[in-house]
């Protein structure tokens, strides 16, 4: 019987033969079926250390990169300690995708731009020299322009992890903040910054925050099984009528998942009045530079952020 590959061996296969690593396959299979991606597909070894949810002695929580999205959503411990993560995981895609998709795969998937996904077009992402979406149909594109590529990053789980200041472990590279997976979005050839042979092995969440309440919402164009036009997650704590902790992140709006410090700064240390919540949500739009077909996302971003703030505050005070 053949022995399973080690992480080093799997990485070496990609280095020597090209191709890409594969986890649950929900993205890689779709791209190969459409003729977007070719070459070898190397299954990431199903090692025990890459799966499961572990509470560490120092209070942090480690989640293996091959842990399923459905498992994240349904874990009662995570629901109590990290509600922003479980709400987000439970809302994305479909039950079938959540059952087959993995944490690492969600973080490192490719964008869903229909020009990139169509083999009859060429763009920066597949080695071309332009972005056909800029002059073509870009209804679902970014509203915060970070660089040449205007395809929004598709990872919902990334925005939840950004709100927790989570870290990722990468084989032979070490530990780095989740935000460092994506950089500033200025490289149009990449949806994340890991080289093809590097393997994301785990995510580590900081110790849970007592009294935290959270909310997640996605604005979509149909009732189910749709990529978000805009999505947002909020974490809050209120003490003596004052917001003492707030973390907000959003997706569907830029080439990278984004934390929104301008929203947090507008609300931290203030009463969560309707006026203050609206002011904070409006601050989410300060970086917007919409294209002709994405102007609607400016108000949609504000309203989605307002919704998660209001929902989280209501949960805090009930």
With a cut of 50, say whether residue 98 has pLDDT above it.
yes
Q: Give CATH 3.30.465.10 domain extents, the chain.
A: 22-37+49-205
Cα–Cα distances in angstroms (integers) from residue 309 to residues 83, 221, 245, in the given order: 14, 22, 12
Reduce the DSSP state of residue 14 to 3 states and report it: helix
Q: What is the pLDDT of residue 1?
A: 38
Q: Give CATH 3.30.390.50 domain extents, the chain.
A: 217-317
Report residue 115's pLDDT band, with 50, 70 and 90 as the boundaries.
very high
- Are 171 and 182 in contact by the 8 Å Cβ rule? The answer is no
State the average pLDDT over residues 75-82.
97
Mean pLDDT across the chain? 93
Q: Percent of the chain at pLDDT above 70?
A: 97
The highest-level CATH class for domain 22-37+49-205 is: alpha beta
Residue 54: both structure tokens together: 């572990």
State the average pLDDT over residues 203-221.
96
Query: pLDDT of 179-199, one tens digit each?
Result: 999 999 999 999 999 988 899
**d(C-alpha 209, C-alpha 245), whole Å:** 9
State the average pLDDT over residues 78-98.
95
Q: Where is pLDDT greater, at 49 or 297?
A: 297
With a cut of 70, say whether residue 316 has pLDDT above it.
no
Report residue 15's pLDDT band, with 50, 70 and 90 as the boundaries.
confident
State the average pLDDT over residues 107-119.
95
Question: Buried (b) or exposed (e) across 8-33, using 16+ Cβ within 10 A?
Answer: eebbebbeeeebbbbbbebbbeebbe
- Strand pairing of 167-170 and 174-177? antiparallel
**d(C-alpha 20, C-alpha 62), whole Å:** 25
With a cut of 90, say whether residue 12 has pLDDT above it.
no
Q: Does domain 217-317 have CATH number 3.30.390.50?
A: yes
CA atoms within 13 A on the CB side of 159: 36
State the DSSP code for 223: S
Query: pLDDT of 131-178, one tens digit each?
Result: 999 999 999 999 999 999 999 999 999 999 999 999 999 998 999 999
């Amino acid at each position: 019987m053949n022995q399973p590959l080690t992480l080093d061996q799997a990485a070496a296969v990609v280095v020597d033969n090209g191709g890409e690593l594969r986890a649950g396959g929900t993205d890689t299979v779709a791209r190969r079926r459409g003729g977007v991606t070719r070459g070898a597909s190397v299954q990431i070894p199903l090692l025990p250390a890459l799966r499961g949810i572990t509470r560490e002695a120092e209070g942090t929580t480690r989640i293996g990169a091959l842990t399923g999205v459905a498992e994240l959503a349904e874990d009662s411990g995570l629901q109590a300690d990290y509600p922003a993560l479980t709400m987000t995981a439970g809302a994305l895609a479909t039950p079938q995708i959540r059952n087959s998709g993995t944490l690492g795969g969600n973080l490192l998937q490719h964008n869903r731009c229909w020009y990139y996904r169509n083999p009859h077009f060429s763009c920066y992402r597949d080695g071309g020299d332009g972005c056909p979406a800029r002059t073509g149909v870009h209804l679902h594109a970014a509203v915060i322009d970070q660089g040449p590529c205007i395809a929004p990053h598709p990872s919902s789980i990334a925005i939840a992890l950004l709100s927790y200041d989570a870290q990722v472990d990468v084989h032979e590279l070490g530990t780095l903040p989740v935000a460092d997976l994506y950089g500033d979005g200025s490289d149009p050839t990449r949806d994340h910054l890991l080289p093809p042979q590097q393997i994301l092995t785990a995510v580590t969440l900081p110790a849970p925050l007592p009294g935290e309440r959270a909310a997640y919402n996605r604005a979509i164009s149909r009732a189910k099984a749709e990529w978000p036009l805009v999505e947002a997650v909020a974490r809050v704590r209120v003490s003596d009528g004052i917001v003492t902790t707030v973390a907000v992140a959003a997706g569907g709006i830029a080439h990278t998942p984004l934390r929104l410090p301008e929203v947090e700064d507008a609300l931290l240390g203030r009463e969560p009045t309707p006026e203050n919540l609206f002011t904070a949500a409006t601050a989410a739009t300060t970086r917007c530079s919409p294209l002709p077909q994405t102007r609607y996302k400016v108000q949609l971003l504000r309203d989605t952020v307002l919704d998660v703030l209001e929902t989280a505050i209501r949960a805090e005070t009930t």
